[in-house]
Structure 1
Amino acid sequence: MALPEQLQAINQITEALGSEERRTLLYLCGALDPDDSVSGMREMLTRKVMQHDEGGHLLLRELMVTLRRFDILRRVFKSSKEEVERTRPHTPLLPGFRVLMADLSDDMTDEDVSSVKFLFGNRLPRERMEKAKCFLDVIAELEKLDMVSSDSVNLVEKCLSEIGRMDLVKKVTAYKMSAGTSEQCSFQQQTERLPCRPPPASPCNNLPQTKPGQSFHSGNIPVSVYRTQSPEHCPDYYKFSTNPRGVCVIIDCVGNDGEMLEQTFKALHFKVILRRWLSVAEILSTLTETLKMKEIQDGDSFACCIISRGTESKIFGTDPHALGLDLDRVKRFFTATGCRALVGKPKLFFIQRYSIPGYQPPTLREHRDEDLETDGYTERPKCNAIPEDGDVFWSHCSIDERQLERGQHNSVYLKALVDALYKCQRRKTHILDVQTEVNGAIFDHNRRNPDTNYHIDVKHTLRKELYLH
């Protein structure tokens, strides 16, 4: 291809690429602070083509393959990906390190990029991180500080491991082995033992790490749910693959957010039971009937969502003057004592409580466990290895009942929960990452609305890693 034809091809390429693609192309060509305008890219490509003499068209074709713009490859160069790979010269036209970084960036979701930016928040200037739009922007900043390079990718490998993208970790490891970097050590063996990421360091998270079953209390500010793990011992994973995944019972005694939760858990392949405007007696009846469902026995998990007025330890349903139902008792229906079919399976509880200020409980008879019929599931399991309250994830959020008086109220907590669970439909997401995202949304709300603060209490006794999908 003669030079005039190459220049014509450059014009066609610059007109076809979007802004993000231009930035990727310029990064591949060696620019860390690129002018990603059309004229800036045209100038860069012209300079590169001139440097390669008659091989300039090979460079342009290689760039299109790396950008995955096979349509331009066909239209401008009358070529295909297979032909480019077959005729590729022995000496690489593009740096392998930068091709790898571009490939990683293309495979990352917006959530991945946000996690990466969070991890490097303490290492890179804040204003630069705010401007970073993609993974390549972060890598470019790290390159400027000589923290990553073609011969130093351990930091990238560790970062990808911490955000749970082990598929991308394998690509970096393969690059290290093929490129013969100085870091061909034992990182791959380490990361294979670490399929879940530890919590990133953050000034906002300077709190002691918690153990399973320990409650998180932070006043008006929810804290992150930490996932701690030792490299010497990585827990197993809960099975989460049956269809349906299990039963999700939703009790909505307020009437605003039940349908939103119903659609979300249906999308996560749960058998969903939605009941509205229930009294305490009707809540008890619903829980009892849920225990008898076939999906309880066959499913891999269980979920319960409750939206109701109440106190710190009780929910009231729609009863005007009821003593209420103890929340701990609700949980016990589905633990080892109450339901043998759920022994060893993860049990998820999400509670949105509307607190009644100055509530004084009436002297009424409280509902007792013996008032319930659990269809044979009340027998204590024979296996003593699993604690009675094992495998429980408990997320309990409260706000003043007076919020319900403000027209069509919707819970910030439940909206954040639905948004976080929606992402599980696209790729596997750890339950603690779901809760951490919810915590962040509540923190932001409380900061902007100090007069309408949500309070959140999170605790769990999970014994294994739980990924929702």
Structure 2
Amino acid sequence: MFRSQRQLVTATLPEKIMNAFFPPNQRPVFRHSMSTKDQLSTTASVRIAVKDTGSPASALLLTKKTMALPDQFQLQAIQQTAEALDGRERSRLFYLCGVTDVDNTAGCVEDVLKSRVIRHQGEDQFLPELLLQLGRFDILKEVYKTSRDEVEKALTHRRVLPSFKVLMANINEDMAKEDLNSVKFLLGQTLSREKMENAQSFLDVIIELEKLDIVSPGRVDLVEECLRNIGRVDLAKKVTAYKMSAVPSEGHSSPQQRHRAPCPSPTPNCSPCLQQTLRAHPIHIATENLTAPVYSEQSQMEFYKCNTNPRGVCVIIDCVGNDGDSLKQTFTALHFNVVLHKWLSAADALSVLGEVFRRRENLAGDCFVCCIISRGTGNHLLGTDSYGAGLHLDDVRRLFNADACPVLAGKPKLFLIQRYDILEIPPRAGTQHRDEDLETDGCFGLSRCDLVPTDADVFWSHCWTGEQQLVRGDHRSVYLQVLRDALHKGQRRKTHLVDVHTEVNAAIFEHNRRNPGATYHIELKHTLRKELYLQ
């Protein structure tokens, strides 16, 4: 390569990379001193003097830099790596390298890795760390002649990949399809429908949020909130740990090193993949320009005491006859004392609720649950009645508020209601319930409240769908089915009840999308002051 022991070198860098890194008026001149035996090395130190022909100054400052060019081994290893990765792994690699909007091909992977090797000059662990994150230990062994343990040991004190991107990539790997659908549902008002439909992975969603500057290395609250709301508390805790840790400067670089250099304009000679990479990510030593955010320590939210045996009473009134038994099994498994009543009229339902209210032994637990399955109109439940105003939903709630039932004050009260809408029917005389019909526990002057529960410690989940669903004899409420599944899953995962219900929301949304003629409407209102775990 060199004709003499000391010679001016102008073609050390490949022309493609030369054109990509340096504008035409700032072509570098490399002066190189090396012995004959060193001439076989393509990773030697070079001394760079940059002349700016467009400047009146004859020369800029002469500096010493070490430009680690990919040697033959690295080039071969990069090629083998690119060819061995599948489409999903390539997508994850692009994200970890900070590259978006490129073709998901082995050729683009090769170009990106070459540019990153040059960027991370002197960082021999870059490629092994990347493969470690991808879980391709076979490539580490066969191509790089190292092992997972050796790489992890080498990375104990220093890492190259940004911890934020590593975190997001790891969450992506741990997220099931149903979790992704739940996240997309929660972000329905944040991202456009087109972007939601195109998002095939959690990383696709994160990339879109990053473009909107809603999510970034120092701004992950939205991610944490979404994960909690879909019931993935395990993943949310990883985000919390990332936030609360002393956020490292990526790769432990100095503030001066983290400053981005101006990005030169790639020339047409550069491959399209490399052009996109260099435009979006100017050459600098560190991979991210992070300022460590300061998070004040906040005490974790308190949770309700819910460990008595039984946990409390669960009253189920099934006026349809299809889902009551399944609900009983679910709440029995959740350690509640379950009382199931079937085929009650509105008046009988009120009487049953009053009986529960008067039996104080039923209210000795830490929690109270009321489930009602009934036909109804608007805010009224008819039970088995064909006529009449029925039982107002607000009356159900008021029976158990802190004023009417001081024994339940400060305890969580859950109302789970499935209503099947029928046409409005004129009320029949003598069927309406008055306030004076509602007995109280020594409380005077019960005031009317809105349907939306405003008293403390109330969890109100109300779902309604058309009565025509009951035509099928084997009908089962989709809402109650997914609610039962979510409660069982929440019990295993130790998930907060509000997060459990978010999973129900996502399932209902998906059902409605697939079955536009049999939609369910769901409303959740709660005034819980603490987290509630049904274990």
Q: Structure 2 length as normaliser, TM-score?
A: 0.58
Q: For 1:369-384, what aligned pairs fall within 5 Å after superposition?
A: 378-379=441-442
Contact 1:157 1:173 in 2 (8 A): no
- The correspondence for 1:130, drawn from 197, 210, 219, is 197
Q: What is the distance in 2 between the residues matched to 1:359 and 1:281?
A: 17
Match of 2:292 in 1: 184
CA distance in 2, matches of 1:400, 1:113: 29
Q: Look up the SS of the partner of 1:394 in the other structure.
A: strand
CA distance in 2, matches of 1:243, 1:14: 59
User: 2:165 is matched with which residue?
Assistant: 98
Q: What letter matches 2:498 in structure 1? A: I
How far 1:294 moved relative to its partner?
5.5
Deviation at 1:347, TM superposition (A): 0.8
**For 1:438, which of 505, 521, 524 is the aligned residue?**
505
CA pair 136-292 structure 1, distance change in 2 beyond 3 A:
same
Structure 1 pair 290/11, CA: closer, same or farther in 2 (3 Å)?
farther
Indicate yes or no: 2:219 matched with 1:155.
Answer: yes
After superposition, give the CA deviation of every residue in 1:90-142 in whole Å (9 maximum; x if it has no partner). 66443445334423444556566556656776776654443223333344445
1:420–1:343 CA distance, 2 compared to 1 (3 A): same
Helix, strand or coil for the counterpart of 1:154? coil
CA pair 372-96 structure 1, distance change in 2 beyond 3 A: closer
Deviation at 1:332, TM superposition (A): 3.9
Q: Kindly indicate whether residue 89 of structure 2 is the aligned counterpart of residue 21 of structure 1.
A: yes
Alpha-carbon RMSD across the aligned residues, in angstroms, is 5.1
Q: What are the ranges of 5 or more consecutive residues in structure 1 without an aligned counterpart?
A: 196-234, 382-386
| SS across alignment from 1:137 | helix
Whether 1:276 aligns to 2:339 is: no
- Please say if 1:83 is aligned against 2:150: yes
Alignment partner of 1:256 is 2:316 = no
CA distance in 1 between partners of 2:333 and 2:107 (Å): 46
Contact preservation (8 Å) 2:496, 2:531: no
Is the Cα contact below 8 Å between 1:357 and 1:400 reproduced in 2?
no
Contact kept in structure 2, 1:10 and 1:45, CA below 8 Å: no
Shift of 1:309: 2.5
Q: CA deviation at 1:254?
A: 0.8
CA contact (8 A) 2:357 2:400 kept: no
Equivalenced residues, count: 411
Confirm or deny: 8 A CA contact 1:246 1:302 kept in the other structure.
yes
Percent identity at matched positions?
A: 43
Q: Contact (CA 8 Å) 1:430, 1:467: kept in 2 or not?
A: yes
Asked whether the 8 Å contact 2:356–2:362 carries over to 1, the reply is no
For the pair shown, the structure with the greater C-alpha radius of gyration is: 2
- Asked if the contact 1:61–1:84 (Cα under 8 Å) also holds between the matched residues in 2, the reply is yes
Q: Cα gap change, 1:418/1:192 in structure 2, threshold over 3 Å: closer, same or farther?
A: same
Alpha-carbon contact 2:181-2:506 (below 8 Å) kept: no
Q: Amino acid of the residue matched to residue 32 of structure 1?
A: T
Q: Distance in 1 between matches of 2:336 and 2:91?
A: 42
Q: Equivalents in 2 of 1:401, 1:30: separation in Å? A: 52
Asked if the contact 1:420/1:438 (under 8 Å) is kept, the reply is no
Select which of 231, 235, 240 maps to 1:169.
Answer: 240
Write the distance in 1 (CA, Å) between the matches of 2:433 and 2:168: 60
Match of 1:345 in 2: 411
C-alpha distance in structure 2 between counterparts of 1:182 and 1:48, whole Å: 19
User: Is the CA contact 1:3–1:54 (under 8 Å) kept in the aligned structure 2?
Assistant: no
Q: Is the 8 A contact 1:336 1:380 kept in 2?
A: no
Corresponding position of 1:222 = none
Structure 2 runs not aligned, ≥5 long: 1-70, 229-235, 256-288, 445-452
Higher mean C-alpha deviation, range 240-249 or range 344-353:
240-249
1:321-344 deviation line (CA, Å, top 9, x unaligned): 788555444334433355444221
Amino acid at match of 1:176: V
Taking the aligned partners of 2:120 and 2:170, their CA distance within structure 1 comes to 24
Structure 2 counterparts to residues 359-370 of structure 1, below 5 A: 359-364=425-430
Tell me the equivalent position of 1:230. Answer: none
Return the offset for 1:274. Answer: 3.5
What SS does the corresponding residue of 1:298 show, helix, strand or coil? coil
1:248–1:302 CA contact under 8 A, matched in 2? yes
Is 1:423–1:429's contact at 8 Å kept on the other side of the alignment? Answer: no
Q: Which residue of 2 aligns with 1:309?
A: 375
Counterparts of 1:58-77 in structure 2, within 5 Å, are 58-68=125-135
For the 8 Å contact 1:431–1:468, the answer to whether it is kept is no
Q: Within 1, Cα distance between the matches of 2:212 and 2:398? A: 55
Q: What CA deviation, in whole Å up to 9, does each residue of 1:316-365 have, x standing for no partner?
A: 43356788555444334433355444221111112222344343444447
Distance of 2:379 and 2:118 partners within structure 1: 74
Residues 391 and 460 in structure 1, CA contact (< 8 A), matched pair in contact too: yes
Distance 1:66 1:455, change over 3 A: closer
Pair 1:331-2:397 in alignment: yes
Mean alpha-carbon deviation: is it higher for 327-336 or for 76-85? 76-85
2:364 counterpart SS class: helix
- Rate the CA distance shift 1:333–1:45 in 2: closer, same or farther, 3 A: same
Q: How far apart are the structure 2 equivalents of 1:128 and 1:437?
A: 23
Aligned-partner Cα distance in 2 for 1:42–1:250: 62
Q: What's the CA shift for 1:307? A: 0.8
Take 2:495 and 2:389, find their aligned partners in 1: how far apart are those partners?
41
1:453–1:359 CA distance, 2 compared to 1 (3 A): farther
**3-state DSSP of counterpart to 2:423:** coil
Q: For residues 521 and 421 of structure 2, what CA distance do their matches in structure 1 show?
A: 10
TM-score by length of 1: 0.64
Distance, in Å, in 1 between the alignment partners of 2:185 and 2:147 is: 39
